[in-house]
Structure 1
Amino acid sequence: MLTFIGLGLYDEDSITVEGREALRDADRVFAEFYTSRLVGADVADLETAHGVDIEVRDREGVERDPEAILSAAETDDVAFLTAGDTMISTTHTDLRMRAEDRRIDTRVLHGVTAQSAASSLTGLQNYRFGKAVTLPFPYAHGGDGVPESVIEAIEANRERGLHTLVYLDIKVGTGPTGPDPDHEEYMTADYAAELLAEGWADTVGVVVARAGSPEPVVAADSLSGLADREFGDPLHMLLIPGDLHHVEAEALVGLAGAPESILE
């Protein structure tokens, strides 16, 4: 059995009760933290809180060489952990399909996602979001500024009146000069706003920082204004609102400090 368990958004307590029980019952536990991570807990915290030993796999060990995970799941109850909800990344869907091809039973125990948290914290209605995008570090896509694909996706959403959730790049194990096992880098919302302000300086953006933590930060302003602010420790997200229902506009003013001009 291979059980995919989402750990939620922040620390060792963010997991669901169902996920916690499955984790503690597992014979072996694997995890990856290159697609996202918990900023309020490290691997040692998770091991102590749940009484398990966790084998962390890098991208190579999940995407190209998952044999250790799959062979263990053929005979034992194996848990595979990720931050957030475990099936948001296509990497994990591929691993599940490989297990199914080998007639290994699988199940999915969900965790809170960044997308649902972003909607809940900002007051932007979840059914009014369009395609989400990931904003990479310029060095990661070999160019300057914002990739054309990101610009096109945001513009397409705005033309349809839809909100855009912009995930901000995470680099773990790879830096500007190539593979580096000690490298960890998290794009900040002010830096992302600075990049996007080149095309949309006066457009309202919304920052969500440390969703799932005891004190998340939610702030709305023009993108150029957000670029001049600091939002503390990671993880950060940035949202570009589309057309606003009056309740959404009121929520951004009241919950995120948006300029009252958006109510007009």
Structure 2
Amino acid sequence: MLTFIGLGLHDERSITVEGREALRASDRAFAEFYTSRLVGADVADLEAYHEVEIEVRDRAGVEQDPDPILNAAETSDVAFLTAGDTMVSTTHTDLRLRAEERGIETRVIHGVTAQSAASGVTGLQNYRFGKAVTLPFPYAHGGDSVPESVIETIEANRERGLHTIVYLDIKVGMGPRGPDPDHEEYMSADHAADLLATEWADVLAVAVARAGSPDSIVAADRLSALAERNFGDPLHLLVIPGDLHHVEADALAGLADAPAELLPEH
């Protein structure tokens, strides 16, 4: 049995009760933190709280060499852990399909994701979001600006009146000069806003920092203004709102201190 367990957004306690029970009942636990991580806990915290040993795999160890995980799951109960949800954004469908092809039973225990949190903390209605994008560090795509694909997606959503979640780049084990096991870099909301402000300086955006944590921040303003702020420790994301329902406008004003002049009158 291979059980995919989402750990949620913040620390060792963010997992669901079902996920915690499955993790404690497993014979072996693997995890990856190159797609995302818990901002309030490290591996030692997870191991102590859940009373398990966790083997952390890098990207190559999951995507190119999954046999240790799959071999273990053929004869025992194995848990595979990620921050957030293992099948949303940090998707591991390929690993699940490989297990199914080998006749290994699988199941998924979902966790809270940045996607659902972005809607919940901003007050923007989840069914009014369009296609999401990831904003990479400029060095990661060989350029010095925002990739055209990101601009096109945001513009297409705005033309349809839809909100856009902008996930911010994470680089773990990979630096500007190539593979680096000690490298960890997390794009901040102000850095992202600065990149996007070259295209939409006066456009309303919402910065979300450390969603799910006790010290989360939600701030709405022009991209050029958000670029001047410091949102603290990771993880961050941005939301570019589309057309606003009056309840959404009220939420951005009341929950994110959006300037009145940037909101529709009603």
With normalisation by structure 2, the TM-score equals 0.98
| Pair 1:60-2:60 in alignment | yes
- Give the Cα separation in 2 of the matches to 1:131 and 1:194: 21
Q: Does 1:69 align with 2:69?
A: yes
Q: Deviations over 1:120-149 (max 9, x none)?
A: 000000000000000000000011110000
Q: Is the 8 A contact 2:36 2:90 kept in 1?
A: no
Distance in 2, matches of 1:139 and 1:241, equals: 27
CA displacement 1:131-187 (0-9 Å, x = unmatched) = 000000000001111000000000000000000000000000000010000000000
1:6 corresponds to 2:6: yes
**Whole-Å Cα distance in 2 between the matches of residues 256 and 177 of structure 1?**
38
**1:191–1:227: 8 Å Cα contact kept in structure 2?**
yes
Amino acid of the structure 2 residue aligned with 1:164: T
Matches within 5 A, 1:1-264: 1-89=1-89, 91-261=91-261, 262-264=263-265
Cα distance in 2, alignment partners of residues 94 and 88 from structure 1 = 13
**In 2, are the aligned partners of 1:63 and 1:91 still within 8 Å (CA)?**
no
Cα displacement (A) at 1:263: 3.2
Q: 1:214 offset after TM fit, Å?
A: 1.1
**Do 1:250 and 1:263's aligned partners in 2 also have CA atoms closer than 8 Å?**
no
User: What SS does the corresponding residue of 1:263 show, helix, strand or coil?
Assistant: coil
Query: 1:9 is matched by which residue type in structure 2?
Result: L
Instruction: State the 1:89 CA deviation.
Output: 4.0
1:91 CA drift (Å): 4.8
C-alpha contact (below 8 Å) 2:35/2:90 kept by paired residues: no
Identity of aligned residues (%): 80
Question: Which deviations, in whole Å up to 9, do the C-alpha atoms of 1:180-220 show, x marking residues without a partner?
Answer: 00000000000000000000000000001000101210000
| Aligned amino acid, residue 119 of structure 1 | S
Contact 2:162 2:241 (C-alpha < 8 Å) held by counterparts: yes
> SS of the counterpart of 2:206?
strand
Q: Distance in 1 between matches of 2:134 and 2:258?
A: 23
User: Any conservation in 1 of the 2:130–2:163 contact (CA below 8 Å)?
Assistant: yes
Instruction: State the number of aligned residues.
Output: 264
RMSD (Å), alpha carbons: 0.7
Decide whether the 8 Å contact of 2:124 with 2:248 is kept in 1.
Answer: yes
C-alpha distance after superposition, 1:215-254 (max 9, x if no partner):
2100000000000011010000100000000110010011
In structure 2, how many angstroms separate the alpha carbons of the residues matched to 1:211 and 1:90? 16
The code of the aligned residue for 2:264 comes to L
> Quick check: 12-21 or 83-92, which moved more?
83-92
Output the amino acid matched with 2:203: T
The 4+ residue runs of structure 1 with deviation greater than 6 A are: none
User: For 1:69, what is the secondary structure of its paired residue?
Assistant: helix
Aligned-partner Cα distance in 2 for 1:239–1:149 = 17
Structure 2 counterpart of 1:254, which letter?
G
SS at match of 1:180: strand
Alignment-mate amino acid for residue 248 of structure 2:
E
TM-score by length of 1: 0.99
Cα distance in structure 2, aligned partners of 1:84 and 1:24: 18
Quote the Cα distance in structure 2 between the aligned partners of 1:34 and 1:151. 25
Matched letter for residue 103 of structure 2 = R
Question: Match for 2:113: what amino acid?
Answer: T
Cα separation, 2, equivalents of 1:2 and 1:141: 34
Structure 2 CA distance, aligned partners of 1:67 and 1:230? Answer: 43
2:264, 2:20 → 1: CA distance? 43
Provide the secondary structure at the position in 2 that maps to 1:80.
strand
Unpaired segments of 5 or more residues in structure 2? none
Alpha-carbon distance in 2 for matches of 1:74, 1:234: 37
CA contact (8 A) 1:32 1:82 kept: yes
Letter in 2 for 1:81: L
